[in-house]
Structure 1
Amino acid sequence: MAITIKDVAKKAGVSPATVSRVIADNPRISVKTKAKVREVMKDMGYYPNFQARNLVANKSRTLGIIMENSAALAFQNPFFPEVLRGISTQAHDSKYGLYLSTGATLEEIYQEVVEMVQGRRVDGIILLYSKIGDPVLEFLRQSELPFAVVGRPHQDPFSVTHVNNDNINTAKDTVEYLIGLGHRHIAFVGGATDFVVSIDRMQGYKQALAKHNISFDVDYTVNQDFIQGKERESIRRLMALPVPPTAIVTHDDMVAYEVIGYLEDLEIGVPDDVSIIGFNNHTISRYLKPPLSTVDISIYELGLRAAELVLEKITDESTPPKQVVVPSRLIERGSCRRL
């Protein structure tokens, strides 16, 4: 027979209303009483029916997590499990569950978000990307549902709660690190040009070159949306230039792994012939041969802080939009050498 609130109240010597307030963590109940009631609940094996409570309160106690691709594709990139680890830590502490988007196309993801919001399936949403002209972000701006973005919104960023790295200055510092090693011919292999993080890192790359009087050469740049399906040939073309790059900055460690593979096919050694550096500091990067130099963007903290901000907005709807910058740091390993 299932244990009820009345059973817990009787054993704890309190009223059923007090047990309900303890479950809701009501501040009017003393710490001593909360501890006593929770101990009885534990001893009796009583688990509150949060679903019923949430229906009464019109709350789902669930956060929606929106990824840029379908879950099957997203989880191939170590960024997503790590950012979800940060979100999960904060959600668990606040007794919230997670609802992951499963759409495989932009249209499917958009429809899924509309259903999440209008069906009150979630109390808040975390958008794990930021891109130009994204209908999902525009819909969330118009909705009254609390949400946060991991990344810098392209338009009017201060009106949207978001967590981001300083991608412009981080990319600039990364290129200056290579310049400090004696490199003047530095290529940039970027992500899709409609993603704000790609735009910001390209801008930082250009700023570093300009600061050191190095001319920007479009032939030294490769962008994901222009080379889809032609990645190997793009790297071959890059290295076949009259003056090939001596260093390559890649948008992500995953891209760096691919580039290194293509370079090996061309019998071009890293770092003897060309230095290479990535972003995100995935766990496997330290185990490559040579270990990959990279920028640690604190992925776990990005997720943690995004969840913290959206939960704060859920608790207090009057909370104004907030912007948090999470620090990055360069990890020097063996894939870069001084000329």
Structure 2
Amino acid sequence: MSVTIKDVAKKANVSPSTVSRVISDSPNISEKTKRKVRKIMEEMGYHLNLNARTLVQRSTQTIGIVMKNSISQSLQNPVFPEVLTGISAYCHKQGYSMCIATGESEEDIFQDTVKMVQGKKVDGVIVLYSKKDDQLVSFLINSKIPFVVLGKPILDSPNIMYVDNDNFQAAKDATEFIIKRGHQRIGLIGGDLRFEVSKDRLNGYLAALSENGIKANNEYIKHISYNREQGAQAVDELLNLKEPPTALVITDDLNALVVLLALRERNIKIPEQISIVNFNNTMISRLSTPPMTSVDIQTFQLGYQSAKCLIEEIKDPTMVNKRVIIPAVIVERESCIDLTKEDSSKN
């Protein structure tokens, strides 16, 4: 005969409702009680009937993942696999599966997400980007399904829960890191300005220049999208200036790799001729030549906390929506030269 919740409750000397709350990982049950009940469940060989639970709760134990591009494009950027690893880690811990919206275009991905939600294939959705005029977020709000945005949302709505870095401050810190090392001619190579993360990093860069008495030069600001031709063009335009920048803030390390390759093809030495500080601190930054100083946005934690927030909301729909900010830290490597030391050595 199979072991029931009542059998576990009796042996643990708790109510059946307490056992049910332990199974759903309710925050209202103490960790001590959870450990006790789970140990007894294991000893008695109790196994949760997921099919029956799904029918009773109308739960799929699955969350939807929406990327900003097709899977093939998104997975070329090492940020997304690391974010997905964080999401997967928390989902596994909670007994949830993941379902990724597919499609080659934004409209395809949107329609696949609509089918996912309206077909009740998922209990909630994580949107791995934030951009202006996004029909997907409006759809999710109207659908009243729990969802989390990775990135600061455009809409200032209490209905939107999000997890993000303070990208403005992170870019400001990265730019000031370069300024403190004696650089005055500092360029920025940013990403697609349709996305909030790109806007915030641009504004953080501009704020750092302004606060340090450095006039922004529009010719030093370029935007590219993981494209070698765009990277080569941006590098040529910067190098052909009368006073080229001595340092670059690059807001994504995949773009930084594109720029690094273009500079190498033109025999520009890093960091002797141009210093680089980039963002994301994925394996690209660690394995490049030279290894690049990078802003670590803690991609695993971004994914982990996104899943945690979403699953907590799924389990408790009355929960107040959270705004979780993951700290970013600069990891110093070999791509940024200190001009103040160079100057002092000449004296």
Equivalent pair of 1:123/1:314 in contact (CA under 8 Å): yes
Give the aligned partner of residue 319 of structure 1: 319
Question: Do the aligned partners of 1:67 and 1:101 also contact (CA within 8 Å) in 2?
Answer: yes
Let me know the Cα RMSD of the aligned residues: 2.7
Corresponding residue for 1:76?
A: 76
Cα distance in structure 2, aligned partners of 1:151 and 1:111:
22
- Are the aligned partners of 2:8 and 2:40 in contact in 1 as well (CA < 8 Å)? no
One-letter code aligned to 1:334: E
| Structure-1 separation of matches of 2:237 and 2:157 | 37
CA change 1:331–1:226 in 2 (3 A) is closer
- The one-letter code of the counterpart of 2:160 is V
Counterparts of residues 219-298 of structure 1 (less than 5 Å)? 219-224=219-224, 229-298=229-298
1:1-339 aligned at under 5 Å gives the runs 6-8=1-3, 25=23, 35-41=39-45, 48-156=48-156, 158-224=158-224, 229-339=229-339
| Contact 2:280/2:296 (<8 A) preserved | yes
4+ residue segments displaced more than 4 Å: 12-15, 21-24, 26-34, 225-229
Q: Structure 1: which amino acid aligns with 2:283?
A: T
CA contact (8 A) 1:178 1:247 kept: yes
Q: CA deviation at 1:237?
A: 1.2
Please list every run of 5 or more consecutive structure 2 residues that lacks an aligned counterpart in the other structure: 11-15, 340-347
Deviation, structure 1 residue 181: 0.7
Q: Distance in 1 between matches of 2:50 and 2:135?
A: 33
- Paired with 1:73 and 1:313, the residues of 2 have a C-alpha distance of 30
Alpha-carbon distance in 2 for matches of 1:94, 1:226: 35
Q: CA deviation at 1:37?
A: 4.0
Which amino acid in the other structure matches residue 56 of structure 1? V
Identity of matched residues, %: 37
Contact kept? 1:227, 1:234, Cα under 8 Å: no
Is the 2:226–2:258 Cα contact (8 Å) retained in structure 1? Answer: no
Deviation at 1:123, TM superposition (A): 0.5
Separation in structure 2 between the aligned mates of residue 7 and residue 226 of structure 1, nearest angstrom = 56
Paired with 1:138 and 1:65, the residues of 2 have a C-alpha distance of 16
CA contact under 8 A between 1:148 and 1:160: conserved in structure 2? Answer: yes
On the 8 A contact 1:22/1:37 being kept in 2, the answer is no
Which shows bigger deviation, 183-192 or 25-34?
Answer: 25-34
Paired residue secondary structure (1:230): helix
- State the Cα distance separating 1:141 from its structure 2 match: 1.9
Q: CA deviation at 1:241?
A: 0.6
Specify the code of the residue in structure 1 equivalent to 2:311: L
Q: Is the 8 A contact 1:86 1:302 kept in 2?
A: yes
- Contiguous gaps of at least 5 residues in structure 1: 1-5
The one-letter amino acid of 2:121's match is: R
Structure 1 pair 312–185 and aligned structure 2 pair: CA distance change class (3 A):
same
1:3 aligns to what?
none
Distance in 1, matches of 2:158 and 2:183, equals 37
Q: Confirm or deny: 8 A CA contact 1:22 1:34 kept in the other structure.
A: no
Q: Take 1:69 and 1:63, find their aligned partners in 2: how far apart are those partners?
A: 18
SS of residue matched to 1:294: strand
For 1:96 and 1:186, how far apart are their aligned partners in 2? 46
Cα distance in structure 2, aligned partners of 1:142 and 1:336: 48
